[in-house]
Structure 1
Amino acid sequence: MNMSAPNITAAEFEEKVLQSKEPVLVDFWADWCGPCKMLSPIIGEIAAEAQGFKVYAVNADEEQDLMARYGVRAIPTLIVFKDGQVYKQNTGFIQKEQVLDLLK
């Protein structure tokens, strides 16, 4: 399944997401989640093509604190962070164009 974005942990979140100079797209996912598996290759493609932003994945099962901190109750949830703040978010499967729209 690793056509997805690099996974990060709560310990790395501050530095890689909140302190990032560029916008960051974070994909909250889990192994058992069907829509996550459908979304994962799309997120992987976007990560591979990313210019002017970064893309990371967070394993929902392993990072309950991050889920709680950002009110993620369903997955997949995509959150775009800008300047350490939540800029836009989406829950559920969406197509690549819609994911890219979140970054605008």
Structure 2
Amino acid sequence: MTVVGDVVEATRDDFRDLVADGLVLVDVWGPWCARCLALMPHVDELAAQRDDLRVVKLEAPKARRLCMELKLMGLPAFLLFAGGEEVSRIADPNLTAQQLDSWLDESLARA
């Protein structure tokens, strides 16, 4: 685990522990994914502004087996965990910051 600002960078070894408690937004990204890289500053802003959830980033190529277990089929992907259980996800190669915010607000309202 590495902490960068308000964001925790997960590894396949500590991922389950990081999502075990509270509300956790997981940003699954890849260094070749232009949309992932474009959304990173917005995700960092979310982490700094939202006290109601932890933000965890998972670099897909470094956690391929975990990504398969999570049944991730495309990037960028965002998963919301509550108490260790996945409660919502969105994966869209054309995802915008506004769409991410709307999805997150709706998902948090249901969590």
Q: Is the shorter-chain TM-score for this pair beyond 0.5, marking a shared fold?
A: yes
Higher relative contact order (CA 8 A, sep 6+): 1
Match of 2:14 in 1: 12
Q: Mapping of 1:44-83 within 5 angstroms?
A: 44-83=44-83
Residue 102 of structure 2 is aligned with which of 84, 90, 98?
A: 98
How many residue pairs get aligned? The number is 101
CA deviation profile, 1:25-73 (whole Å, cap 9, x unmatched): 0000011101101111111100111212110000001001111111111
Kindly provide the amino acid, as one letter, of the partner of residue 103 in structure 1: L
Structure 1 contact 4–57 (Cα < 8 Å) conserved: no
Task: Tell me which protein shows more strand as a share of its residues.
Answer: 2
Kindly state the Cα deviation for residue 4 of structure 1 after the two structures are TM-superposed: 8.4
Q: Are positions 1:35 and 2:35 aligned together?
A: yes
What is the CA–CA distance in structure 2 between the aligned matches of 1:15 and 1:76, rounded to whole Å?
A: 22
SS in 1 for 2:14: helix
Q: Shift of residue 11 of structure 1?
A: 1.0
Q: Please state how far the C-alpha of 1:99 moved relative to its aligned partner.
A: 4.7
| Residue 5 of structure 1: how far off its partner (Å) | 3.1
